[in-house]
Structure 1
């Protein structure tokens, strides 16, 4: 009986041993489908293949996990970056497609595979570099100014622009990123200087910055800045955020100077009141300069800012006279790229008139708008009047009677002195006070009611044309 019990116990132990063996699996070291992981918003898909045995020991609820080490390959605080569905993988070998988190940045990551039913863990994979390129476009340093100067015995601080210009995707927006600074040694080679968000330069040379993505290639790099030492007053270049020439219709451009203690901006040689910051905004063309105090010395720079708008002219006067039966052709000359012309009469578009000239046969208020439709979208316009021709009186009258009867109400002078003839007309009262002045006379004086404190007030005129002067009096009758 005792032997029978021992036999039963022995069989149970064998059964338990067999069951225990069958409930265990061995997972192989994962084989990577890549040599380095250079992930980013546009691509983040990687493969790893592993084997497990025996297949029959994998439970129906089993899940396979991928654990990611720290950048040194240590799994002490491993991060789960993939979890399969229950029962998803039942045959060996298996290939898993997964993504890296956007915080990876290092040269010696490893992954390992774990199962949940039964629980098992593979050994770690071979080390590999992994970086998530959250910012992968060129950025600017030094406000995109290509040159900088420091005083002898001092230094110049290069910084990454944040936010920088309107097209600058500053990498400083992303807390996880680090940066490396380099100095050029030739047109195609450079040496590492240091890491950090800024670089203090005390040695002349050309410097630039790159986001630290290790062995992964990247487009996240800065412009070059050439830094020089100045023992006396030096110079540098001013940058324009919208370029030069710039398009004023895009808004003002920002002019930027290098880093300094204080600033003074000038336009066409004159100091701009209140313009004492590192940057100055303007939408006007002209020659701008700035003086920068660096402490032990000062530097200056200038830029001739040009607007990529266009110039236009029209060959008619602001006021034009038209005799009965006559026509007037207005022609626009412009250097606009692919210009578009729109003509108006009394505020209404003239249908079908899209060329640079228009022949007018009626009086009215006219306007033409010129739009540049390629490159810088800018526009110019001209407004002018077409009126009935003034009567061509032979002499300058010395009497008017502004009583509203339609006869001799205004001072009508010969056409050779009226609008469009570049004639200056000035009228004084009897006390010598100037009451009217124009270089575009429209036979329209007096424009307001005359004060008849005197019985017949007398005024005096001066007409100047082509260096010749005519003077006389005007008696106003009721």
Structure 2
């Protein structure tokens, strides 16, 4: 009886031990070191997908709620402030080995990153992966330094400052727009070789040579590099200063003004076709005009000058009529446009209204008014030129006038601007005319009146002025009266 009880207790103890052992198996797993699917991670906006493969055991040790995650160390391989790159959905990874894809944060930059794998149910952490270089190339395009001027000059014993342009001219994609980036300056030692000089966004140069800078993406190759600048020194006197045009030596005016830039100095003076440009005393000068531009740069104990010829490629065009033209009512005026524009289009306007069907380089105008023609180049350099002209009735200096006027308004509107007399008193009639001010001063005395008084500015004010006239004909007929001038 006693033996049976003992056997029963031993059986219960064995079942308990088996149960506890099974629970321990189900409550822990082992995750192997993650295997990288790459040697270095050089990400950018177009590519940022990487993979890692890992094993874990036992597979049946995972809870149905388990999630695997990938953690990224800092650039020194430290997981004190790890970054979670990926977390799987609950229960989606159940077989070993497993492969997971992930992406890098845009702030990634360093040579010694590591990753590790974690599980949530049960909780387990793998050992860290091998170190790898990782950079997110947030700026991966060429950029400019020295305002794209290819030379720099300093006086002997001084220095020249090279700096990354921000923003620079044109479409320069300055890496200074991204605060997390760092930079490395180099000096060329041969056609394809160079040596590292310094870090930073600028470089003070006191040795002659050709310099450039690259965005620091470590061992990752990139397109984030600058133009080359050749720096030289001068002991005294004058040396050459480079000039760069942001739109090139030939440019289309529809692009806007081109920016001319020169080397850095203490002061500047720009010239166009040999003449100094008033107020053009900065390192840069904007222009839309063709010509030969020069600059003189004061470097302190020495100075430099340079020149550049630029051409704005807007087409040439001319019109065959004057700004003001007159025709009789039954006449017409043939207007012709000559142009070097590529595939030109023509628009004609009368008093700001588009004239339908007038689309050629000529137009026969018959109506009085203000005309405008717009010539547009539609191929190559896109741009337009405008010409304006006016067609009026012929001016008659001796119109039919019945009476001697006593009121005129010389305000330039071509209406009642001068004192118009009847034909029997004007030139050719030997009529003596005298006009006096209200103080008795003679302002006009003639026997050849041309209906043109007043010819000069009489300093009209808001107060009307009064003048007096005496008209004496050849047969001694006399007419007297007053003339009031109003604005």
1:277-305 Cα offsets, whole Å, 9 max, x none, are 32334444444433322233222223344
Aligned equivalent of 1:439 = none
Assess, with a 3 A threshold, how the Cα gap between structure 1 residues 408 and 283 changes in structure 2: closer, same or farther.
farther
SS at structure 2 position matched to 1:206: strand
Instruction: Identify which range, 17-26 or 316-325, moves more after superposition.
Output: 316-325
1:347 corresponds to which of 345, 352, 357: 352
Asked if the contact 2:291–2:310 (Cα under 8 Å) also holds between the matched residues in 1, the reply is yes
Aligned equivalent of 1:163 = 167
Assess, with a 3 A threshold, how the Cα gap between structure 1 residues 412 and 128 changes in structure 2: closer, same or farther.
farther
1:96 corresponds to which of 78, 82, 100: 100
Structure 2 CA distance for aligned equivalents of residues 243 and 305 of structure 1:
8
What's the TM-score once normalised by structure 1's chain length?
0.78
Asked if the contact 1:265–1:289 (Cα under 8 Å) also holds between the matched residues in 2, the reply is yes
- How big is the shift at 1:365? 2.9
1:206 corresponds to which of 204, 210, 215: 210
SS at structure 2 position matched to 1:213: coil
- How big is the shift at 1:119? 1.7
2:177 corresponds to which of 152, 173, 177: 173
Aligned equivalent of 2:90 = 86
Is 1:330 aligned to 2:345, yes or no?
A: no
- How big is the shift at 1:118? 1.3
Aligned equivalent of 1:381 = 386
Aligned equivalent of 1:194 = 198
Aligned equivalent of 1:61 = 65
Asked if the contact 2:185–2:196 (Cα under 8 Å) also holds between the matched residues in 1, the reply is yes
Aligned equivalent of 2:120 = 116
Aligned equivalent of 1:470 = none
Structure 2 CA distance for aligned equivalents of residues 351 and 108 of structure 1:
72
Q: RMSD over aligned Cα, in angstroms?
A: 3.7
1:369-404 Cα offsets, whole Å, 9 max, x none, are 11223344432222223345578x9xx9xxx99758
SS at structure 2 position matched to 1:92: coil
Aligned equivalent of 1:235 = 240
- How big is the shift at 1:358? 1.3
Aligned equivalent of 2:31 = 27
1:126-156 Cα offsets, whole Å, 9 max, x none, are 3322110111122111111111111222221
- How big is the shift at 1:202? 2.4
Is 1:308 aligned to 2:308, yes or no?
A: no
Aligned equivalent of 1:474 = none
Assess, with a 3 A threshold, how the Cα gap between structure 1 residues 161 and 78 changes in structure 2: closer, same or farther.
same
Asked if the contact 2:241–2:297 (Cα under 8 Å) also holds between the matched residues in 1, the reply is no
Assess, with a 3 A threshold, how the Cα gap between structure 1 residues 66 and 256 changes in structure 2: closer, same or farther.
same
1:17-36 Cα offsets, whole Å, 9 max, x none, are 33213322222222223232
Structure 1 CA distance for aligned equivalents of residues 216 and 422 of structure 2:
88
Aligned equivalent of 1:455 = 470
Assess, with a 3 A threshold, how the Cα gap between structure 1 residues 409 and 220 changes in structure 2: closer, same or farther.
farther
Assess, with a 3 A threshold, how the Cα gap between structure 1 residues 82 and 136 changes in structure 2: closer, same or farther.
same
Aligned equivalent of 2:45 = 41
Aligned equivalent of 1:218 = 222
Structure 1 CA distance for aligned equivalents of residues 170 and 112 of structure 2:
37
Is 1:260 aligned to 2:275, yes or no?
A: no
Asked if the contact 2:26–2:62 (Cα under 8 Å) also holds between the matched residues in 1, the reply is no
Assess, with a 3 A threshold, how the Cα gap between structure 1 residues 310 and 410 changes in structure 2: closer, same or farther.
farther
What's the TM-score once normalised by structure 2's chain length?
0.77
Structure 1 CA distance for aligned equivalents of residues 47 and 427 of structure 2:
82
Structure 2 CA distance for aligned equivalents of residues 352 and 61 of structure 1:
77
SS at structure 1 position matched to 2:470: coil
Asked if the contact 1:410–1:444 (Cα under 8 Å) also holds between the matched residues in 2, the reply is no
Structure 2: gaps spanning 5 or more residues: 406-415, 429-442, 459-465, 473-482
Asked if the contact 2:403–2:421 (Cα under 8 Å) also holds between the matched residues in 1, the reply is no
2:20 corresponds to which of 10, 16, 20: 16
Instruction: Identify which range, 2-11 or 334-343, moves more after superposition.
Output: 2-11
Structure 2 CA distance for aligned equivalents of residues 69 and 373 of structure 1:
57
- How big is the shift at 1:90? 1.2
Asked if the contact 1:401–1:409 (Cα under 8 Å) also holds between the matched residues in 2, the reply is no
Aligned equivalent of 1:365 = 370
Assess, with a 3 A threshold, how the Cα gap between structure 1 residues 126 and 204 changes in structure 2: closer, same or farther.
same
- How big is the shift at 1:248? 4.5
SS at structure 2 position matched to 1:342: strand
Assess, with a 3 A threshold, how the Cα gap between structure 1 residues 408 and 6 changes in structure 2: closer, same or farther.
farther
Asked if the contact 1:150–1:156 (Cα under 8 Å) also holds between the matched residues in 2, the reply is yes
Structure 1: gaps spanning 5 or more residues: 414-428, 433-442, 458-477
SS at structure 1 position matched to 2:21: helix
SS at structure 1 position matched to 2:16: helix
Assess, with a 3 A threshold, how the Cα gap between structure 1 residues 453 and 203 changes in structure 2: closer, same or farther.
same
1:247-266 Cα offsets, whole Å, 9 max, x none, are 45544443322222333334
